[in-house]
Amino acid sequence: MAFSTLFSTAETNSTNTVSRPISPEQHARNAYLTYQARFEINPSHPELAWQFSRAAFDWAEFASNNRQREQIALQGIAAARRGIVLETNSVPAHYYLGMNLGQLARTKSIGALKLVGEMEREFKKVRVLDETYDFAGPDRNLGLLYLEAPSSFSIGDRKKAREHLLKAVELSPTYPENRLNLIEAYLKWNDSKSAQTAFNELEQIWTAARKEFAGEEWRTSWVDWEKRRSKALEKLRSMTPRR
């Protein structure tokens, strides 16, 4: 996910100014503090509410422990709920409510199951309002939710997972995250044929995606995508019978 504010900082001496890229972690922290301050000054502004919720989600990605992640996620949840009160059909507010509920769920074990239903409702709501938001984010997140949740005592459902992950690829075909999620799902289900087909399709858009999603704000995403692409290829090779 792209971050949302400044991507570099400047060091100044007596003769010149040198701009240096800051780390993704520092950038996320800066954005979080910036939007937190803005939201505290004007808590009745719906756009500031969801912007702070988004920044909270991004910053929670770098949490060093569950306690910190929980604290940040709860702030993001509260801001998103405030945004929904201010603007009932705010797509970003509903979306980042679901995303921050996901961050909170990461800090729980059995308690995470209580959050799953609300996450599902929020992403379904966003899907109705704008299915293309965040590169088909509603379908992407619903697909992952159905993929990862237990099927015996929660909402886990392979058929629904496949349906939504495929829909995310259909809606935003050049976004690598969508295709990687689909490949990883097929590998999890030991469907090597479908995984290989999806991987070949990923390869076809990879170079163009490099150009489309370029810049400092995508650096962390590409590190993750490259790692997952390599891991998927390795897994596919291990599943292919030797001749």
pLDDT in tens, the chain (243 residues): 433 322 222 333 334 445 567 888 999 999 999 999 999 999 999 999 999 999 999 999 999 999 999 999 999 999 999 999 999 999 999 999 999 999 999 998 777 888 999 999 999 999 999 999 999 999 999 999 999 998 877 899 999 999 999 999 999 999 999 999 999 999 999 999 999 999 999 999 999 999 999 998 899 999 999 999 999 999 999 997 655
> Which residue, 133, 74, 76, is CA-closest to 107?
74
Task: Output the domain CATH number for residue 51.
Answer: 1.25.40.10
Task: Describe the crossing of helices 133-148 and 176-188 by its angle, rounded to 10 degrees.
Answer: 10
* CB distance 143 to 170 below 8 Å: no
Residue 61 lies in a domain: yes
The pLDDT of residue 228: 98
> Could you please report the per-residue DSSP string of 29-71?
HHHHHHHHHHHHH-TT-HHHHHHHHHHHHHHHTT-SSHHHHHH
pLDDT of the residue at 31: 96
User: Can you give the pLDDT at residue 25?
Assistant: 92
Q: Is 145 a member of any domain? A: no
Q: pLDDT tens, 200-219? A: 999 999 999 999 999 988 99
Domain membership flag for residue 75: yes
* pLDDT score of 102: 97
Find, among 6, 92, 88, 101, the residue nearest to 48 by Cα.
Answer: 92
The boundaries of the domain holding residue 67 are: 23-115
Both tokens of residue 134? 């965040």
For residue 101, being part of any structural domain is answered with yes
Whether residue 102 lies inside any domain: the answer is: yes
CB 165 within 8 A of CB 139: yes
Cβ(21)–Cβ(7) below 8 Å: yes
Domains contained in the chain, number = 1
The sign of the torsion formed by the CA atoms of 165, 171, 177, 180 equals positive
Q: Rounded to an integer, what distance in angstroms lies between the CA atom of residue 46 and that of residue 90? A: 8
Residue 94 inside a domain? The answer is: yes
Residue 18 located in a structural domain: no
Tokens of 91: 């797509």
* Within-domain flag for 45: yes
DSSP E strands in the chain: the ranges are 8-12, 17-21
Please report the pLDDT score of residue 17 as a whole number: 47
The whole-angstrom separation of Cα 18 and Cα 11 is: 5
